[in-house]
């Protein structure tokens, strides 16, 4: 089995993904701005503490990644609770670096390895905010939309050797979701309202995201390349007034 590189490996989805990939047989390299003692104690796991807003440092990290890298999963994300039209340029720049440009930098750095090592794939953890958003989510929404656009373009430019897929997540039980709910006067009431909009009636768990990716890796990816798979609990299908 080859090496899988996972960004955001200290976060909710990334941490679970790293564990699942280890269990599948991959060696795993996690990249995050924070350490991950839980993962670092595991066999065949190595952790690189890297600030994804520092693209020059990320380029150096990419050049040192294992030559048998066959899978890149971009799970890192930055969610500034910032409104459009406020001139918060640093929030916008950092969001584009982490949410969109980081995967371009890493893909360029391991492109040769991805071409020759299975499963020859890049997965991006996107968001339903690429098409549906709310107040004070402007940089996050715009950069997740840009990420989906990057996936479409990269799938064309890297075909047929490398397959690129985007998973647009809806409400997932992570610290990032909790932070977003704190925009409301009553986060608990906002959570209840949110869960009522979801067809399953509850939040998606990071383990469910991980399980799907593991299953997709067992499937032919050629005809999925360039697509966005929405995992939003039906949120994008329901009228906002219902």
On the question of pLDDT at 147 being above 80, the answer is: yes
Domains and CATH numbers, the chain: 3-171+205-231 (3.40.50.720)
pLDDT for 63? 94
pLDDT in tens, 13-36: 999 999 999 999 999 999 999 999
For residues 100 and 89, is the Cβ–Cβ distance under 8 A? Answer: no
**pTM, full prediction:** 0.94
pLDDT in tens, 70-98: 999 999 999 998 999 999 999 999 999 99
Least trusted range by pLDDT, from 73-77, 100-104, 171-175: 171-175
Please count the other Cβ atoms lying within 10 Å of the Cβ belonging to residue 159: 13
The more confident residue out of 181 and 151 is: 151
Give dist(CA 96, CA 115) in Å, integer.
26
Q: What is the CA radius of gyration of the chain?
A: 17
DSSP state of 220: -
First vs last Cα of the chain: how many Å apart?
47
pLDDT for 194? 79
């Amino acid at each position: 089995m080859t090496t899988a590189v996972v960004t955001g490996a200290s976060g909710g989805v990334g941490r679970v993904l790293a564990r699942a990939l280890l269990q599948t047989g991959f060696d795993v390299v996690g990249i995050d701005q924070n350490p991950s003692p839980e993962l670092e104690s595991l066999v065949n796991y190595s952790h690189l503490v890297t600030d994804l807003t520092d693209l020059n440092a990320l380029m150096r990290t990419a050049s040192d990644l294992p030559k048998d890298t066959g899978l890149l999963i971009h799970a890192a994300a930055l969610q500034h609770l910032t409104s459009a039209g406020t001139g918060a340029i640093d929030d916008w720049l950092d969001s584009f670096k982490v949410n969109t440009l980081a995967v371009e930098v890493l893909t360029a750095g391991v492109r040769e390895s991805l071409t020759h090592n299975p499963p020859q794939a890049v997965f991006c953890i996107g968001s339903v905010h690429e098409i549906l958003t709310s107040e004070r989510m402007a940089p996050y929404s715009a950069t997740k939309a840009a990420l989906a656009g990057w996936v479409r373009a990269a799938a064309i430019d890297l075909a047929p050797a490398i397959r690129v897929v985007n998973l647009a997540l809806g409400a997932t039980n992570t610290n990032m979701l909790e932070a977003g709910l704190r925009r409301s006067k009553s986060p608990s009431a906002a959570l209840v309202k949110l869960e009522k909009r979801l067809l399953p009636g509850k939040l998606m768990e990071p383990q469910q995201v991980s399980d799907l990716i593991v299953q997709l890796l067992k499937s032919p990816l050629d005809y999925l390349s360039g697509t966005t798979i929405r995992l939003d609990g039906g949120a994008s299908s329901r009228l906002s007034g219902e």
